Amino acid sequence: MPELPEVQMVVNELQERLTGRRFAPGATFLWERTAGFPAAAEFAERLAGREVTGVRRRAKYILVDLDSGEQLVIHLRMTGNLHFADPSEPPHPHLRARLPLSDGQELRFADTRKFGRLYLGTPLELEAVIPLHRLGPEPLDDDFTVELLRSRLSRRHGAIKAALMDQALLAGLGNIYADEALFRARIDPRRPADTLSDSEVAALHAGILASLHQALGSGGTSFRDYLSTYGRKGDNEENLQVFRRNGEACLRCGNPLQRIVVGGRGTHYCAVCQV
C-alpha cells in the first residue's frame, strides 16, 4: 500500500501537472464502486467544468481542491495509481475511472484490487463519509515534536508497532516506515507504547523523520504496484534496512533479521538490536 512518502510524491506531481486545469464533462467509472461518494452519475455531473486550484495530502488521502469549494479526494489504498493519458491510448487492464480534462487529456485511475476510492463533495459532506477529521497529526509538520509523540504514546498500552500504524495517533505512517523507524530507534516492535523512556521516544521521533525523508528523497518505495503519475517506480527499496529483509544479515550487528506478526501485520526487526 502506498504510504505517506508515496502519496506525497503523487501529490507533488499532481500539484504541478493538474493545478489550473479544468475537468470536462463525461467522467466515467468502469467499476462504479470506485465512486465512493456520490454515486457515479452525480459524481460526473458535479465534477464537470470544475477547475483545480491546488492539490494537498492528508495522511494517505489526496485532496484536489476545486474552484467550487468542493474537493475531489482520492484514496489509492493498496494498488491504486493515477496517470494522464490521451483518450486514444489503450486502457490499463485494471482501469477503473476516466476523468476527462478540458484540454483533451484524461486523468485515469487504475486499481488492480478495486479497494481504491474517489470522493467528491464539500468538506461537510466528505466529513460524513471519510474520516479526515479523526486523523492524527502529520509527522512532517513542524508541530510534530518529541513532546507531542510522547504525549500520544503515553496513553497507549498496546504494542508500539500497532500504535504507530493507528492513523488516529499519527497520520500516514504504515507498515514499511513503522518497521524502519523502530529499527533506527532500536525498539522492539512488541514493546508496550507507554513503556518507552524519554530517550527512546526521542530516538523514535528521529527515526520516523529520517525514514520518511529518505523515502521522499528516493521517490518512494515500489515493490510492485506503486507508480508515480509518470509511471515511474520509486527507488527507496534499496535503502530499506529491515522491511522485507527477513533472514538477511542485520546491517548493524550481522544477526539474521526476523519476521513476526504484530497487530495482524507482518513485522520485520532485529531481535538483537531492538529491545
Residues with Cβ within 8 Å of residue 65, at least 6 apart in sequence: 52, 53, 54, 55, 56, 71
Sign, CA torsion 12/114/89/40: negative
Query: Does 3 qualify as catalytic in the annotation?
Result: yes
In angstroms, the CA 87 to CA 92 distance is: 12
Amino acid at 11: V
Query: Does 16 qualify as catalytic in the annotation?
Result: no
The string of DSSP codes covering 110-169 is: EESSS--EEEEE-HHHHHTTS-GGG----TTSTT--HHHHHHHHTT--SBHHHHHT-TTT
Query: Does 265 qualify as catalytic in the annotation?
Result: yes
Measured CA to CA in angstroms, residue 112 lies from 1, 92, 176, 245 at distances of 12, 10, 21, 25
The SS3 of residue 62 is strand
Catalytic residue among 3, 70, 106, 180: 3
Centroid of chain to Cα 206: 20
Catalytic residue among 2, 5, 139, 189: 2
Query: Does 244 qualify as catalytic in the annotation?
Result: no
In angstroms, the CA 15 to CA 32 distance is: 26
Count the Cβ atoms, other than its own, within 10 Å of residue 151: 11
In angstroms, the CA 139 to CA 57 distance is: 12
Tell me the β-bridge partners of 55: 64
Return the closest-CA partner of residue 223 out of 269, 176, 159: 176
Catalytic residue among 50, 60, 152, 161: 60
Catalytic residues: 2-3, 60, 265
